[in-house]
């Protein structure tokens, strides 16, 4: 399963069900460029098939970024059935992400 780019228009629909990691990022952000391959790899692994991975470009989707008070990127917002359960700012490696996601399964 690939990481899907979502927008202001479909954010609520795409994060309403299940365990979802949404990466708030921008094309000019160095740490975002490090985070993206980690999430891409995790989305392809069998162990994380129950998790949906999304990306929101903060420059193109200012409404959703403002709604979540995104002030630093990358920020990863983890939701379960549409409710925010965790929020992480900065780069997180695969091991850190796996440990965090395990808490919400």
Residues forming the active site:
29, 32
Name the β-bridge partners of 84: 79
Q: Is 90 left (phi over 0), alpha (psi -120 to 50) or beta?
A: left
* All residues at 6 or more sequence positions from 17 whose CB lies less than 8 Å from its CB, including other chains: 81, 82
């Amino acid at each position: 399963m690939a990481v899907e780019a979502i927008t202001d228009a479909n954010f609520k629909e795409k994060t309403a069900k299940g365990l979802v990691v949404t990466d708030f990022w921008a094309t000019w952000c160095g740490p975002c460029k490090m985070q993206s391959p980690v999430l891409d790899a995790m989305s392809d692994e069998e162990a994380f098939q129950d998790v949906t991975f999304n990306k929101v470009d903060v420059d193109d989707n200012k409404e959703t970024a403002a709604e979540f008070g995104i002030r630093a990127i990358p920020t990863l917002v983890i939701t379960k059935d549409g409710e925010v359960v965790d929020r992480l700012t900065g780069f997180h490696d695969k091991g850190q992400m796996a440990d965090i996601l395990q808490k919400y399964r």
